[in-house]
């Protein structure tokens, strides 16, 4: 069984292990500290492991702000999921379902094409 090796994740883990040893604290606490000190490293590590972009949004009132990580499903995947659902729902082929969905949400198709081709809209 192959092990997933990621540079950012390994760096984050190394720093957290060192911090946990130095301060004699649990690894989870050390990871949280490193994440607060270097949020960019924490975010990049998460993205490496997930293989997807992660957005961080902040919610709550100013006295109690919370950061939440949001993993975006790519547009092409969303379009595919919609077509599969339509095919099952109407008992039609995936191709026919994809054509229907594409006609109904042309903006999503445009975004999916741009995403696949690496074009920023």
pLDDT per position as a tens digit, 36-76: 899 888 888 877 766 667 666 666 666 776 666 555 567 77
| 1 within some domain | no
CA 34 to mean position of chain CA atoms: 20
Residues 94 and 61 in one domain: no
Q: Which domain holds residue 112?
A: 75-117
Classify residue 26: in a domain, yes or no.
yes
Token output for 111: 């975004």
Q: Are residues 31 and 47 in the same domain?
A: yes
Distances (CA, A) of 85 to 42, 81, 88, 115: 35, 6, 5, 22
Predicted pLDDT at 4 = 47
Q: Do residues 61 and 86 share a domain?
A: no
Number of domains in the chain: 2
CA pair distance 109, 99, nearest whole angstrom: 10
Predicted TM-score (pTM) above 0.85: no
Q: What is the mean pLDDT of residues 4-16?
A: 79
Residue 61: CB partners within 8 Å, gap ≥ 6?
none
Q: What percentage of residues in the chain have a pLDDT greater than 90?
A: 33
**Between 17 and 69, where is the model more confident?**
17
State residue 110's pLDDT score: 84
Specify the pLDDT at position 39.
85
In this structure, what is the dihedral angle of CA atoms 26, 32, 36, 42, given to the nearest 10 degrees? 120
Q: Identify whether residues 31 and 86 lie together within a single domain.
A: no
């Amino acid at each position: 069984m192959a092990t997933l090796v990621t540079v950012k994740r390994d760096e984050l883990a190394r720093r957290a292990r060192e911090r946990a040893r130095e301060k004699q604290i649990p690894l989870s606490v050390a990871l949280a500290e490193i994440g607060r000190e270097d949020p960019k490293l924490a975010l990049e590590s998460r993205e490496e492991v997930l293989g997807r972009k992660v957005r961080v949004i902040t919610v709550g009132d100013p006295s109690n702000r919370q950061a939440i990580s949001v993993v975006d499903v790519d547009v092409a995947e969303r379009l595919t999921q919609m077509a599969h659902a339509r095919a099952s729902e109407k008992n039609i082929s995936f191709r026919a379902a994809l054509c229907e969905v594409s006609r109904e949400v042309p903006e999503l198709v445009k975004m999916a094409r741009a995403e696949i081709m690496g074009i920023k809209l």
